[in-house]
Amino acid sequence: MLSAVFATLLLQPAPKPTLLVLNKLDNTVWITDLETAKVRAKLATGPNPNEVAISPDGTLAAISDMGSGQEPGKTLTLVDLGGNKVLRKISIEPHTLPHGIHWLSKDRLVFTSHATDSLVEVDVPAGKIHRAINTEQKGTHLVVFSPDQSRAYTVNAGSGTVTALNFKTGKVIKQIPTGDRAEGISISADGKWVACGNLGANTVSIINTEDYSVVQTLKGIAGPIRTLFTQDGKHLAVSSVGSGALEIFGTKDWKKVASVELKQKPIADPQYQGQWPIPMNLTRLKNGNLLVVLVTSHAVAEVDTKTWKVTRTFETGPLPDGVAVLDPS
């Protein structure tokens, strides 16, 4: 019945370029017009929303309602982007504490479960779990996919590893040791490199996806919590929670080429006296620029990838984290 009802909905994509930001302190998602910076809607999510992803057709956003260890989140929230409203929730028990999330197609998505350390595939129209792949590691946190979606890579904070998976068969290919509190993972657009930020080790591991080996370790980065490759593949951006900067590395030789300071006004928030803006999640715009969530500033900053300067900022709710952009060409 649920699948039949879902199929009858004539969902439309968001009418303009759209920014979505999750706010963990008040359990909301803000939907903002990317061109005008005007907030179109503030919607309630489940408890402690952490990550958000937009469906390939631009009609839906899926949110992982993580909750906490004391009260694990048990749902994913689906948002109708064209209607600026919550469409429904999908029950995910027993795979609670959802975190990373990724759309495979307009009808299928996957998420990571901290409760079962699994990569879980969901039939969205049916609102049911299709299958779960156990990573055999601890603290399975985020996931990225190869361009053809044949390979999945999960980062496992408790084990300090990246798991390479054959997504078709659901089998583990290799457990790749990276470093303490491995958290921030990204993959280059061509699928050649995976970058894993090891928050506890102050390092970033660069993985060659041909043989699943760590070919480079970037050291001396203060709390590298997230990573993101630029669309052209020439640079890797790393969110440094210890310095409050966005550290930029060239992918040709893996040397640091820039450090984007995020302390200047109007980003600084007087509520956090003496505390620099803490950079967290990252995403890309179609013009190549990056967006970075600034947790203690209640803001998202746009960074020009030619000058490595902040060009504008967007207001968010309290304690922002997950971010996604619908930026059609």
Give the Cβ contact number of residue 23 at 10 Å.
20
Q: What is the pLDDT of residue 92?
A: 98
Q: Could you tell me the CA-to-CA distances from 145 to 21, 31, 102, 177, 285 in Å, in that order?
A: 22, 26, 9, 18, 19
1, pLDDT greater than 80:
no
Q: pLDDT above 70 covers what percent of the chain?
A: 93
CA 103 to chain CA mean position, Å: 12
1-134 CATH pick, 3.40.50.720, 2.40.50.100, 3.30.2130.10, 2.130.10.10: 2.130.10.10
Coil, strand, or helix at residue 218?
Answer: strand
Please report where in the chains the tokens 């302390």 appear, as a residue. Answer: 263
Q: Contacts from 25-30 at CB under 8 Å and sequence distance 24+?
A: 25/317, 25/318, 25/319, 26/317, 26/318, 28/317, 29/61, 29/63, 29/77, 29/79, 30/316, 30/317
Q: What is the pLDDT of residue 265?
A: 47
229, pLDDT greater than 50:
yes
- Mean pLDDT within 215-244: 96
Given pLDDT bands bounded at 50, 70 and 90, which one contains residue 2?
A: low
Given pLDDT bands bounded at 50, 70 and 90, which one contains residue 6?
A: low
Dump pLDDT digits (tens) for 130-154. Answer: 999 999 999 999 999 999 999 999 9
Tell me which of 274 and 117 has the higher pLDDT: 117
- Backbone phi, psi, residue 50, to 5°: -115, -45
250: phi > 0 → left, psi -120 to 50 → alpha, else beta; which? beta
Contact criterion met (CB below 8 Å) for 287 and 312: no
Q: What is the pLDDT of residue 46?
A: 97
Alpha-carbon span 106 to 124, nearest angstrom: 8
Given pLDDT bands bounded at 50, 70 and 90, which one contains residue 266?
A: very low
Q: What is the pLDDT of residue 262?
A: 84
Alpha-carbon span 322 to 78, nearest angstrom: 14
Alpha-carbon span 51 to 167, nearest angstrom: 21
Alpha-carbon span 158 to 67, nearest angstrom: 18
pTM of the full structure: 0.94
Q: What is the pLDDT of residue 15?
A: 86
272, pLDDT greater than 60:
no
DSSP 317: -
Q: What amino acid is encoded at 136 in this protein?
A: E
Q: What is the pLDDT of residue 328?
A: 77
Alpha-carbon span 244 to 276, nearest angstrom: 6
Q: What is the pLDDT of residue 263?
A: 67
Q: What is the pLDDT of residue 302?
A: 96
Query: What are the residues whose beta carbons fall under 8 Å from the beta carbon of 287, sequence distance 6 or more?
Result: none
33, pLDDT greater than 80:
yes
226, pLDDT greater than 90:
yes
Q: Which residues pair with 128 in a beta bridge?
A: 123
Residues composing the chain: 329
Q: What's the mean pLDDT when you consider all of the chain?
A: 93
Q: What amino acid is encoded at 287 in this protein?
A: N
Tell me which of 328 and 72 has the higher pLDDT: 72
Is the N-terminal amide bond of 94 cis, ω within 30° of 0?
Answer: yes
Give the Cβ contact number of residue 166 at 10 Å.
13
Dump pLDDT digits (tens) for 279-305. Answer: 999 999 999 999 999 998 889 999 999
Q: What is the pLDDT of residue 108?
A: 98
Domain boundaries, the chain: 1-134
Query: What are the residues whose beta carbons fall under 8 Å from the beta carbon of 329, sequence distance 6 or more?
Result: 286
Is the N-terminal amide bond of 266 cis, ω within 30° of 0?
Answer: yes
Q: What is the pLDDT of residue 50?
A: 97
267, pLDDT greater than 70:
no
Q: What is the pLDDT of residue 271?
A: 56
